[in-house]
Structures are given as structure tokens and as C-alpha cells.
Amino acid sequence: MKIKTASWFTKLPPDHFKIGISRGVPRGTSAGYRQYAALNPGPWFNSSTIPAYLVLYRAPLAQLNHKKVATDLLALDPGKNPVLLCFETVAPARPF
């Protein structure tokens, strides 16, 4: 299993499951996703500069135990590939 990233708007294959790491979800999103709040940005996410955002977002992430996070994510839906979802896309979507 590999943990992947995508946008909420990416169509996923049936052997993948959605994990939200954004502060909210798009309107009309149907059930079938989970949230992992430890990876969500803080309340400053929409009001800070990009450099400040990076500092504010990365600081709490650095405190997490990455092995525990990976174990938690894989345990949310055993046998399926977890996909961390946010609103933004950084590059053109690639098929899974």
C-alpha cells in the first residue's frame, strides 16, 4: 500500500479511499471519506502569507510521529490505498 495525495475533485479507483486533510470538504461531497485532523492546517490557513503558512503548517507536522500517522492512515480502511485530499492541485492530475 502507498499513501497518495490528490484533490477532492480527483476521481479515484475503487481500491482507493478518501482521507480529508483540509479544514472542510466540498459542498455536496457524498459519504465514504474520513478526516485525519492532525494533518489539517490551522485557522490561519486562509489569512497568512505563503512563507508564514509554510512555517505554521510545518511546525506541528514536525511534532507528529510519522510511523504512527502512516499506521493510522492505513488502518482507516484496510486493504485499500489511502489518498490524502485537499482542495488544491499542484500539477496536472495523473491517472491512478
Residue 63 CA to residue 75 CA, distance in Å, equals 21
Which three-class secondary structure state does DSSP give residue 43? helix
How many CB atoms lie under 10 A from the CB of residue 46? 8
Q: CA 46, 93, 33, 13: dihedral to nearest 10 degrees? A: 180
Task: Note the pLDDT tens digit of each residue in 61-79.
Answer: 999 999 999 999 999 999 9
Task: Note the pLDDT tens digit of each residue in 35-66.
Answer: 999 999 999 888 999 999 999 999 999 999 99
Q: 40, 61 in Cβ contact below 8 A? A: no
Task: State yes or no: pLDDT of 89 exceeds 80.
Answer: no
Q: pLDDT value at position 88?
A: 82
User: Can you give the pTM of this predicted structure?
Assistant: 0.84
